[in-house]
Structures are given as C-alpha cells and as structure tokens.
Structure 1
C-alpha cells in the first residue's frame, strides 16, 4: 500500500512469471487492473466492542475490536451501510463475541453487494439465542436499508478462528442475491462463494470464455465451479458443460442460474472435483478454479495421463499453480494473464491456458 497501483500490478506480474519460470512458448497477455480502491463487493467484518459501542472490522493481537468502517477497500455504497448495521447491533442488543473471555453472541457481519446495489447480509452468531431479537427488529433494518434482499443467520458455536459455521437460517423470503456479470445473472446463496472484485471477475470470465470459444470444444468440465461463473460463460449451443463443486448451496445457485438462462446442455453436481474426474470419461477441455492449495497431486497426475487437450487454469496462488504445472509436463502453458483481483495486497489471480503437446495435435499458440 502507498505505492502507485501500476507498480503494484507490475510487481505481481513479475512475481508470477518468476514462479512459472522461463518458457519460450508462453505468451503473457496484458494484465487486467481495475479500480485500486473501493473495489470489494463484500465486507467480512468481525464485531468487537460493546453493545452500546460496537466495532466493525478486525481484532487486534489481544482480541479487541479495531473499527474499519472507513476502510478504503469498500465502495461508498457499501461503507454507508456500516453505521446502520452498528446501530442495529445496539437496537437488537446483540452482544459482540469476546474472544479472550469466550462470551457474547455476535461474531461477524458478512455483507455482499451485487452490481445492481442489492445486498445480502449474514449474522454469524454463537447460538440461536439472539435470533428472535433479530427477527423482531428486522423490519427496522429493512426500512433503513431498502436495498437488502437476503438476510440470514449463520451459527458458529465453536471457538475457532473461522468465518462461519455450517448451519444457515434464512430470515427473508428471498433466498438468493442476483450478481449480474456480463449480462448473466449468477444467483448467490448465503453460503456460496463469489469473487471479491466484481469488475475484475467479469474480465476473468470474459477472457476465459473467449479462449474456450476459440478452441470450440464439444465437452467441458468446470471443476471447483462455485456458483457456475465459468460454466455459464462458456455454455454454447450443442456444447456439453458439467460443473462440479463441493458446496451444495453453490450448486443450487448455479442450477438456478442455468435454468433461468435456458441452458439445457449445462449440468451441475455437488461433489469432489478429483473424485469426479477419476470416475468419468475425459472431456475435450477442463476449467479449474481451485482454492489456494491448487488442484493437488492426484488431479494433476490424472490430467497429465488423460486425453484432455486443453486446460484453462484460474489460480489465486501462483505458487500452487507452479507445483501443479510441474506434475503436468505434457500440458504446456501457452497463454497467461495476471488479473489484479485484490489491489493493495500481494495477492492476484492468474489465468493460464494449457495445451497438450502432441505431434498429432496443433492447437492455439
């Protein structure tokens, strides 16, 4: 932070290139850099302080709340919600969870904003005890924030350094937030993952879709598909697309989006990406968008031994991408592009097109 944005992006591109190593047949496309501030579409705010004076932000080393309502990573439309949420904590008597003492109820507030300005709000609680009070005062909150569409409670009873628990309680009739990206409505349910930076995510999907369209595969897998961003963008007449994701909530969201778009050739299923790959006939092209740990040894070695001609690999951790590539020497990186998904941090997304090296196959260069 504090350095010109262009320098930050250039550093990320150099970092990625160093990890992937010197490759004469790899073309680096110009990096994608969106806004350097106000870019986050979600706020993951730890609640500290007291009922009368809550803090929304993070905890310090001693477990005390540090208020970050003025953080420049959030757009003004999202930041304007924070004082209202703090007032609601007081109004509904939601005692912030005291980490050192292990007392209190309200742990986190998770707020997501769609490109249309609509909101999804989640209260992460230790127990159901405050739910009745939240329901009682919810009309006030909906009146104060008319852009709220989905409100839920997430239960996290354990004393763990995690963001949310497994159980979700919906408090509104509307269950999904519509994230309109490149003209496609992606339905986002409370426990579904979506990229933090909508503007750069839209570019990520567009560029991947253009590569896939150029290659014109008949069959595509989208592994670690989330709410179906890649799968829905690469769907085309006559093309069979399968999306696999462990989150049941995300699969429900993706299935709803596909139905809205009338995409009969797109199918989503909840399951482990590696297990699915090991049990099904290989497609022409595979898209992978794994978590920071990468796709891992088993899936990498399966891809290496398979008949898959092309892989589109979207990575948020170039170090794990490099490890995976080392296990797939027959799938050569042909194109790479850094996308500055997380300005003012050292993190970034990199999109890579891999092509199988074979004398009988001439693909994209």
Structure 2
C-alpha cells in the first residue's frame, strides 16, 4: 500500500538515522521522523513521499519511549545544532555506538566486534571551546545571533547555548549590542550586502584564555574602540580581539586575511602535556577533555617503542604529531593550510620537540614523497581520504595505519578500500566529542604483515633453485604492458582469492576476508588471471 501525503499513521520508532532522525516502518515503507526516540509510539503525519522513502512529523506522542526526556534547551526543536536534546545521554551513546558499528559492518564489510565500544563525555554542557555565531536579523529587523535552522540560512536566535562556553555567549551578546547601537549591519547572503558575517570565539580550557574574531565583509567598522573597551571589561580572560576579512560569496566562514585589533594574534592552550599557540584558522578539537582521551588512544594504537618514524597527515596545528613524537624516533606532520603549519612549527619549537618536521602540502601528494614510514596516522576532514591519499598510502604500505575519523561512513568506506588492498582492521574505539549532536569520533588500527610491493625471493632448499615470486607491482606492470590498462592492487587481491591462492603459493597475497570487495570488472579479472598464469602461480 502506498503512503498518502498528509495522512496520519500510527507507528513505533525503531532506530535512528546517521543524522539522529527517528526511523520507522509504515506500510512497509521507510519513514524518517525528526526529534523522536527509539521506542516512541506516535501518530505521524506524512509530509513528503518519494520513490523509496517518506518523511513525517509527530502529530501526537501516544506512548513516549523510556529514553525520552524533556529538552533543557528551549530552541532544541528549531535549531540545527543539537538533535539529541530529547533523549537520555545513555541512549545517545547507544545510538552513536550503533552508528559506528553499522557503518563498519554495512559499508566497511568488517566484523562489528572489532569496535570495542564508545567512551562518553563526563559533561554534556558548555564543553565546546569554539563558537561561530552567524549574525542576521529577525522578522522585526532586530540584529540576532544564533544558529542556522536545519537546511536553511534562517538564523534561530540563541542567546544562551547549552553546549557553547558561557564566555562565548556573553561576548557574542556584547557584539550584538554594539552592532545595534552603532547601526553596524549584518551581512545578507541574498543581497550580498552588509558587514558582520560571523562572531567567532575560541577559549582555552587549560590556559583560561579567550580570543574573539569578527568576520567582516568590509574593512572599516565604526566605534571599534568602544567595542574593544566593552569586550575587555566584560571578559578579563580575553587576550586577543581580531578581525577577519571575508568578501567571498559562498558559505566559507573565514577569509584569508586576519588583522589584530587588540592584544595577541594567537590563543594559548595545553593539550596532552604540550602547549599550543592557535590562530583562528588552525584546527583544534572542540572538546578538550575528550580530545585528550581520543589522542591517547591514537598514540596507544600506534604501538610506538621509540625507534619508529611516524607520518601524521592532516596534522593541523600539530596536536597529534607532538603527542606521537614523544614516543617515536621521528615524526613528520603534513597539512595543506599554511597558517596551521606555521602554528605547528612554532608549537614544536615551543615544546622543545627536536624530532619533528612539518610540511605544507596536500595529504595525498605529500604522502607519496615519503618512504620508510613505520606508522601512518591520518585525521582527515569529514569527507575522508581522497583517492590520491588512499593511493599514496597503498604505495607507501606502512605496517600500521591509525585512522582518526569524524565521520563513520567515510571511515568505513576507506577501511573497505584499504582492507581490500591488503590491510586488516585490528580494532576500533568510538569517542563522543560532541554530546547532544549526531557527530562521533572513531579511532581504528589497520595493519598488514607483509608489503605486497616488495619483491620476495625464496631459496628452494631441495633443488637449490631461486624462484622470484611476483609482487603486486610486477603484476600491475605486466597487465599495463600487455593490455594497456591499469589494475588496482585491490583487484589483484580479489582475483587471487577467487582462484584460491593461499599464503604458500602467493606469500604476499591478501588473506581471505569475511567480505567481498567491490567486484573487479570481467576484462580485468581475465587480465590478472593471465598475469598469474604468466608468473606460474596458477596453471592453464
């Protein structure tokens, strides 16, 4: 039976989607219902029907879930920042752990038991050390700050956010009052006119310092002296007031140029025993206490003994790199943002780390320049590893890869790619750095016992004959020369499994997995089989 738009159906919420939306089955159709909890029995009005799914809203909560609570935030049903204000924190952790496990099993095709669990936060309120408030006007024309309504540029006015620092809320309020008093217009994304786009406040959990950055579309602002005076009086911990110039037409928050209006250009804080100076552009985890636990796990998974060379891609201001350097012989950090690399170099000098180097480069391109890496650590943005970075990792073939991820889906995709090319997922641990939101961090350890791009020569004792066992690289070269196209190492591994090669017949082959990799195209299957016959690994 087809679902009818605007009709009300009774259902029970059975799960959550990746973004925290409730999920139910109605008449055999998947229906997504925001702000519901697993176990809710509710009457749902269908508001949209597509070919495969439908969307609804709660008309009546018939029987609430035992996990449901009254939201502490009055804007929780409007703001797009938090999606789990209406359930207990225990239920939120259960949902997030399941989200990571489902991604690893369904997308990554891995054993879900490799996820060892999730580490929750000690506090779910005022944990964020970074706030970026969009500025706009309400329907009456008043200047407001807050957060965007889901999937829109409409600002939900929020003067007190339960997950932002109280310092940030207070400073944003002062800027808002200054804008109102001196008629400083907020930027309008439709007309491309106006001045203040965002208010950006960063705080140091350990240092106690605070920094405010105004993101402005114009270079000249009225009565800045008065603003600076009021901000300093309201918050004695303020060490810097900056202005960032952004005249871009898109949604990118920070522009390229930042000037100091008063105080210091950098914010100082301590993390994992190291002191860091941070520019507004530098990446820094927003939950300090949980970040220390996350990084401690990454260092533990790296398994360092003091003699290793470690490469840290997407290193930001060098937070993970310096934590690794304390246990390694040599550590190298790579980041594409120039300001972050300057931060990282200064942070290394500041902490007396002499066994560290930092390079400004694209992760994939930089990875291809290094060899002899014992441990590779990656902490990519939400989109995960790009193809260049994945290919560079497979070319380097480090024995251990520690992957720190903020998105389970792209993590699972990359794990599938790497495991299909010879790596094994050893273990994983999830960490909740973003209570009340759907975001979750995960650390995984991938390892490989042999390097498939290294030639292995064996001496057959019985005959004294030396036999060369072909590597993946040799097979790739054979196929390229004879057939004129390239084959991925993952395809070679798949065909080796397909023809039943074991570790004795193919010492550098990938062991049998519990999952199937993306199917190799038939023409490439035949080309790889031809190469295996050519090298004597299979018979005619």
Could you tell me the TM-score, scaled by structure 2's length? Answer: 0.62
Indicate the residue corresponding to 1:13 in structure 2. 97
2: CA distance between counterparts of 1:331 and 1:226? 26
2: CA distance between counterparts of 1:262 and 1:105? 42
The aligned runs of 1:27-66 (5 Å cut-off) are 27-34=114-121, 35-49=123-137, 53-59=142-148, 65-66=155-156
**Any idea what the Cα deviations from partners look like across 1:207-238, whole Å, max 9, x if unmatched?**
21223355655100110000111111111376
Distance 1:217 1:54, change over 3 A: farther
Q: CA deviation at 1:337?
A: 0.7
Match among 201, 204, 212 for residue 121 of structure 1:
212
The aligned runs of 1:327-346 (5 Å cut-off) are 327-329=417-419, 330-346=422-438
2: CA distance between counterparts of 1:62 and 1:338? 30
Distance 1:89 1:71, change over 3 A: same
Q: CA deviation at 1:54?
A: 2.4
Q: Is the 8 A contact 2:208 2:237 kept in 1?
A: yes
**Any idea what the Cα deviations from partners look like across 1:235-275, whole Å, max 9, x if unmatched?**
13761101000111111111111111111101112111111
The aligned runs of 1:276-355 (5 Å cut-off) are 276-329=366-419, 330-355=422-447
Q: CA deviation at 1:26?
A: 5.8
Match among 239, 242, 253 for residue 329 of structure 2:
239
Is 2:164 the counterpart of 1:74?
yes
1: CA distance between counterparts of 2:423 and 2:152? 48
Q: Is the 8 A contact 1:92 1:137 kept in 2?
A: no
| Structure index of larger Rg | 2
**Any idea what the Cα deviations from partners look like across 1:300-349, whole Å, max 9, x if unmatched?**
23323433110110011111112212221222111201111111122111
Is 2:218 the counterpart of 1:134?
no
2: CA distance between counterparts of 1:265 and 1:167? 31
The secondary structure found in structure 2 opposite 1:172 is: strand
Q: CA deviation at 1:280?
A: 2.1
Q: CA deviation at 1:140?
A: 3.4
The secondary structure found in structure 2 opposite 1:220 is: strand
The secondary structure found in structure 1 opposite 2:119 is: coil
Listed as ranges, the gaps of 5+ residues in structure 2 are 1-83, 451-502, 509-540
The aligned runs of 1:148-163 (5 Å cut-off) are 148-163=238-253
Moved over 6 A (4+): none
The secondary structure found in structure 1 opposite 2:118 is: coil
After superposing the two structures, state which structure 1 stretch, 297-306 or 247-256, moved more.
Answer: 297-306
Q: Is the 8 A contact 2:200 2:213 kept in 1?
A: yes
The aligned runs of 1:82-101 (5 Å cut-off) are 82-91=172-181, 93-101=183-191
Q: Is the 8 A contact 1:244 1:268 kept in 2?
A: yes
Match among 213, 223, 227 for residue 313 of structure 2:
223
Q: CA deviation at 1:89?
A: 2.8
The secondary structure found in structure 1 opposite 2:368 is: helix
Listed as ranges, the gaps of 5+ residues in structure 1 are none
2: CA distance between counterparts of 1:201 and 1:62? 30
The alignment of Structure 1 onto Structure 2 pairs a total of residues equal to: 360
Q: Is the 8 A contact 1:40 1:75 kept in 2?
A: yes
Distance 1:63 1:226, change over 3 A: closer
Distance 1:30 1:127, change over 3 A: same
Indicate the residue corresponding to 2:528 in structure 1. none
Q: Is the 8 A contact 2:241 2:263 kept in 1?
A: no
